[in-house]
Structure 1
Amino acid sequence: SLAFASVAHTCRDVQYGWLIRNLHANGASFFFICIYLHIG
């Protein structure tokens, strides 16, 4: 799939790509936790 190839390229070939991917994933999770706490 093209999406998987793009993510694999970012993690392997882009400088600090693995860090960008992890920040994006963890940031999204943190955002939803904050929304849940705010509503709940």
Structure 2
Amino acid sequence: SLAFSSVAHTCRDVQYGWLIRNLHANGASLFFICIYLHIG
């Protein structure tokens, strides 16, 4: 059970890591502009 949870967690981390990298490559600039506008 623990091993299965570890594997599932690792797979989920890899999937989210890929998603985050993809979003970062495509929308990081827009995201930071939105954050900057909200803070400013």
TM-score (norm. length: structure 1): 0.36
Aligned residues: 40
Structure 1 stretches of 4+ with a deviation exceeding 2 A read 1-26
Larger Rg: 2
Identity value in percent? 95
Of structures 1 and 2, the one scoring higher in RCO (CA 8 A, sep 6+) is 1
In structure 1, runs of 5+ residues without a counterpart are: none
In structure 2, runs of 5+ residues without a counterpart are: none
Calculate the aligned-residue CA RMSD, in Å. 6.9
More helix per residue: 2
